[in-house]
């Protein structure tokens, strides 16, 4: 009964607005006196394909519940990514989190997304279509995704940079 109430609240407009992708599902085992307790964690990326993207981690006793919790968490933690008209990044950037590091470089039209699985999911959800990336250091999906988000959050829109420097767009 409670599940019906929650599914009706979301409505179909939210399902069509955001595209979600599961990056990693892990099984966690807790050994207790009576045996083993299994639970699942899911790392999920959600984006609108137009510059807004977020990631979330959901934990539950069943995989679908963990994915649902991850999607809800990702929708709460969204960031805005500046995307150029050709579907690339405005400038090169490197994101770091823990031992993971991700190098992201703009690419010309038609290049596509050159990236590993975790970074590719983030770029597709954000609406970036032409980018070159290299994941350095840790290959842990959690660290790679967090490093990617750290880099994307540090990106600056060229128009904002020009106004901060006191230039108008005609001078550039």
Write the DSSP assignment of 84-137 as a string of letters: -TTSS-SS-EEEEETTEEEEEEE--TT--EE--HHHHHHHHHHT--SEEEEEEE
Residue 16 pLDDT: 53
- Provide mean pLDDT across the span 109-122: 95
The share of the chain scoring above pLDDT 70, in percent, equals 88
Going by CATH, does the domain composed of 81-161 fall within 3.30.230.10?
yes
Tell me the CATH architecture of domain 2-79.
Answer: 2-Layer Sandwich (3.30)
* Cβ neighbours of residue 5 closer than 8 Å, sequence gap 6 or more: none
131: region left, alpha or beta (phi > 0 left; psi from -120 to 50 alpha) = beta
Is the per-residue pLDDT at 127 higher than 70?
Answer: yes
Residue 12 pLDDT: 41
pLDDT category at 25 given cuts 50, 70, 90 is very high
Residue 3 pLDDT: 43
Give the predicted TM-score (pTM) of the model: 0.84
pLDDT category at 168 given cuts 50, 70, 90 is confident
pLDDT digits (tens, 9 = 90+) for 31-67: 999 999 999 999 999 999 999 999 999 999 999 999 9
Is the per-residue pLDDT at 6 higher than 70?
Answer: no
The single-letter DSSP state of residue 166 is T
Shared fold status for 2-79 and 81-161:
no
Tell which wins on pLDDT, 1 or 103.
103
Instruction: Quote the Cα angle for 85-124-135, to 5°.
Output: 105
Closest among 162, 155, 149 to 47, alpha carbons compared: 149
Domain boundaries, the chain: 2-79, 81-161
Residue 172 pLDDT: 54
């Amino acid at each position: 009964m409670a599940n019906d109430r929650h599914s009706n609240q979301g409505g179909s407009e939210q399902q069509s607005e955001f595209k979600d992708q599961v990056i990693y599902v892990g099984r966690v085992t807790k050994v207790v006196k009576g045996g083993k307790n299994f639970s699942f964690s899911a790392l999920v990326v959600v984006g609108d394909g137009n510059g807004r993207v977020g990631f979330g981690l959901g934990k539950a006793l069943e995989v679908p519940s963990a994915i649902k919790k991850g999607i809800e968490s990702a929708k709460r933690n969204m960031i805005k990514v500046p995307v150029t008209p050709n579907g690339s990044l405005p400038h090169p950037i490197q994101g770091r989190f823990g031992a993971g590091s991700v190098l992201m470089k703009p690419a010309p039209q038609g290049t596509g997304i050159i990236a590993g699985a975790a970074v590719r999911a983030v770029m597709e959800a954000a609406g970036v279509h032409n980018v070159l990336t290299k994941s350095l250091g840790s290959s842990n999906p959690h660290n790679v995704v967090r490093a990617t988000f750290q880099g994307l959050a540090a990106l600056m829109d060229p128009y904002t940079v020009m106004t901060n420097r006191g230039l108008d767009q005609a001078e550039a």
